[in-house]
Amino acid sequence: MSDFRFTIHDDDGAARAGVFLTPHGRVDTPAFMAVGTLATVKALDPDDLRALGAQMILGNAYHLHLRPGDDVVREMGGLHAFMAWDGPILTDSGGFQVFSLEGLRTVSEDGVEFRSHLDGSLRAFTPESVMRIERNLGADVIMQFDHVIPGQSDEATARDASERSLRWLARCADEVARWRSDTDEPRSPQALFPIVQGGIHESLRRAAARSVRDSGDWVGYGIGGLSVGEAKPDMYRILDVVDGELPRDRPRYLMGVGFPEDLVEGVRRGVDLFDCVAPTRMGRNGAAFTRDGRLNIKRSEFRVDKRPLDEDCDCAACRRFSRAYIRHLFTADEILGLRLLSLHNVHFLVRLMRDARDANRGGTIDAWSEEWLARYLSRPVTSE
């Protein structure tokens, strides 16, 4: 596993700051990964992402398998070459997507049958087929195929899904081992991350974390099944439990969690990597993160507001444009409006994690996060 290395530079309680080295470069942690579901972080060019300091981005196996097809991506040289992003990439296994297709899927021990959301065609994912898809995509970090359940699921349902995910992990690992032993395969090394499931049930989470930990020498760990409808205190409580069980010397990736307050709370609980569609999805709807909470740029109160979206922000949108101008772009359905808010929101989270690293380095993560959260949450969110 010498192609990947994780080094912690600063420990501050459960929080830590470090560097995750991959075959396509470094990621300073904690880090926010922008989501490029369909091989594009919506409305942003890879140059934009580099300029705002993004180091690692995410692609999605389910969506890319359906369109353009993982075989097409492979033929085009893999996801890095296809989308002209030469930095680290992680692919999500598609578990979250196929299990979100309520009524369109059948789960068995072998895998999941589902209907494509694009054309209704019948498809099947197994741990082995998902590994082959992620192999074709060629990301640096590939996630195991897991059984995802709603956040409020009862203990029996959560146990069943968690134990199935563990059995599927073993099958994913076997499939990856098969291609690692194939010396004719000149492609870049990939690290398989297992996913800790278990819903909001502490004993299940503890058991899942221990089983995953004891099942292999993993480069890093995914924490799944959170931010899927459960209350925030439940998510934070489960993160505390998982933090105590996973090896401290490997990166932990909290999947699909990306609201600013959750990033701060996650960092305090030993999480190193985050991703979420929130910054770009909300941006396209006119919502902007600011140090003083969220605002909706479409509101009439910003009609002649000369201030930038966030006076503390140094992104390419805030350096040049007023709230009044961006509001005008949204009102007129101009495409630049979507771009500027997406740019600002991704920048906001990337910079938030840089500030967290600085606080860690200074040994002030608790004071920094209390102050940050108090200000961010001090104003009610304006209606969206």
Integer angstrom CA distances of residue 204 from 14, 128, 173, 209, 281 = 21, 25, 22, 8, 32
Taking the complex as a whole, how short is the minimal distance between the CB of residue 317 and Zn ion, in angstroms?
Answer: 5
Find, among 325, 316, 258, the residue nearest to 297 by Cα: 325
Q: How many amino acids of this chain bind Zn ion (CB under 5 A)?
A: 5
Nearest to 38 by CA among 137, 148, 140: 137
Mark out the alpha helices in 148-200 (DSSP H runs): 155-180
Q: Which of 271, 259, 267, 273 is nearest to 349 (CA)?
A: 259
Listed in sequence order, the residues at least 6 apart from 267 whose beta carbon sits closer than 8 Å to its beta carbon are: 15, 30, 353, 356, 360, 365, 369
Neighbours of 252 (CB within 10 A): 26
Tell me which of 48, 70, 146, 275 is the catalytic residue.
275
DSSP for 196-213 reads E--TT-HHHHHHHHHHHH
Closest approach, Cβ 299 to Zn ion, in A, equals: 18
Q: Which of the residues 48, 92, 146, 262 is marked catalytic?
A: 92
Which CB, 254 or 343, lies closer to Zn ion? 343
State how far Cα 307 lies from the chain centre.
31
92 is catalytic: yes
Cis peptide before 194 (omega within 30 of 0): no
Binding mask 342-361 for Zn ion (x = CB under 5 A): --x-----------------
- The CB-of-290 to Zn ion minimum distance in angstroms stands at 8
Minimum distance from CB of 378 to Zn ion (Å)?
20
Residues 10, 357, 47: CA angle, nearest 5 degrees: 135
Q: Which is nearer to Zn ion, 219 or 315 (CB)?
A: 315
- Phi–psi pair at 124, nearest 5 degrees: -140, 135
Name the residue nearer to Zn ion (CB basis): 223 or 315: 315
| Least Cβ distance, residue 247 to Zn ion (angstroms) | 37
Contact 52, 343 (CB under 8 A): yes
In this structure, what is the dihedral angle of CA atoms 60, 64, 66, 67, given to the nearest 10 degrees?
Answer: 140
Q: With respect to Zn ion, which residue has the nearer C-beta, 24 or 344?
A: 344
CB closer to Zn ion, 161 vs 315: 315
Minimum distance, C-beta of residue 340 to Zn ion, in the bound complex (Å): 8
How far apart, in whole angstroms, are the C-alpha atoms of residue 275 and residue 37? Answer: 11
Looking only at residues 286 through 345 of this chain, which bind Zn ion when binding is defined by CB under 5 A? 313, 315, 317-318, 344
Quick one: 19 or 316, whose CB is closer to Zn ion?
Answer: 316
Residues of the shown chain interacting with Zn ion in the complex, contacts defined by CB under 5 A: 313, 315, 317-318, 344
Which are the catalytic amino acids? 92, 275
